[in-house]
Amino acid sequence: MGSGKTLVAGIFNLLGIPVYNADLRARSLMSRPGPLQDAIIQLLGPQAYLNNETIDRAYIAERVFQDAALLQDLNNLVHPKVAADSEYWDAMQNTPYTLHEAALLVQSGSSLQMRCNILVSTTEMLRVNRIRKRNGWSDTEISDRLKHQWSEEKLKPHCQYTITNDGSQSLIQQVIRIHRLILRDLG
């Protein structure tokens, strides 16, 4: 979170690579009436939805980021649905490869389905400042979320490529280099 994954994914998309945004799709899937929504209501109560249809992200965050077991229960409901949705989406694409943007790709186990993984790296201070500016969250809200995400050091062994997003290198050049390497590896 706050590393610049969406910005990097947008550059890949400009190169013609379709991007599956797991966070946006998860919100969409969670907002649809049906078994997933019913399971979330059973787990978190009817307050999880505004007007019985729109997900109340603030309420859910307040509940799950204070209770690791509850967060895991929610992830166990949502991650399999997102994984199935992404597989379906991927099968509909007609490009040499696709990109799946997700904060918890490795942590959720979804990275095991990927040909390769790209880490977007930056300093913790930049991440926090970006999140604060983008979301308007307090330091406590940011910390509550970040403590449930793996550190870059823990993620690195699972990633074949790293893009540095701290202003020290051109993002476009890094993306183009990795894009070319992936195309070369695909033959």
How much is the pLDDT for 108? 65
Cβ atoms within 10 Å, residue 41: 14
Structure pTM? 0.83
- Least Cα distance to 159 among 145, 178, 172 occurs for 178
54 vs 57: CA distance, rounded Å? 9
Span 70-98, mean pLDDT?
Answer: 93
End-to-end CA distance of the chain, in Å? 33
β-strand pairing of 54-55 with 49-50: antiparallel
Cβ atoms within 10 Å, residue 176: 14
Alpha-helical (H) ranges within 92-170 are 124-135, 139-146, 152-155
Give the pLDDT band of residue 31 (cuts 50, 70, 90).
Answer: very high
- Least Cα distance to 117 among 92, 94, 100 occurs for 100
pLDDT tens digits, residue range 104-133? 666 666 666 777 899 999 998 998 899 899
Give the pLDDT band of residue 12 (cuts 50, 70, 90).
Answer: very high
Structure tokens at 33: 């009436």
Alpha-helical (H) ranges within the chain are 5-14, 22-31, 35-44, 57-64, 68-91, 124-135, 139-146, 152-155, 171-186
How much is the pLDDT for 112? 61
Structure tokens at 84: 């199935």
How much is the pLDDT for 163? 97
pLDDT of 101 strictly over 80: yes
Structure tokens at 10: 């947008």
Domain boundaries, the chain: 1-18+97-187, 23-92
Is domain 1-18+97-187 classified as CATH 3.40.50.300? yes
62 vs 141: CA distance, rounded Å? 9
Span 67-96, mean pLDDT?
Answer: 93
How much is the pLDDT for 116? 85
pLDDT tens digits, residue range 136-156? 888 888 887 888 787 888 889
Span 51-60, mean pLDDT?
Answer: 86
How much is the pLDDT for 119? 92
How much is the pLDDT for 143? 85
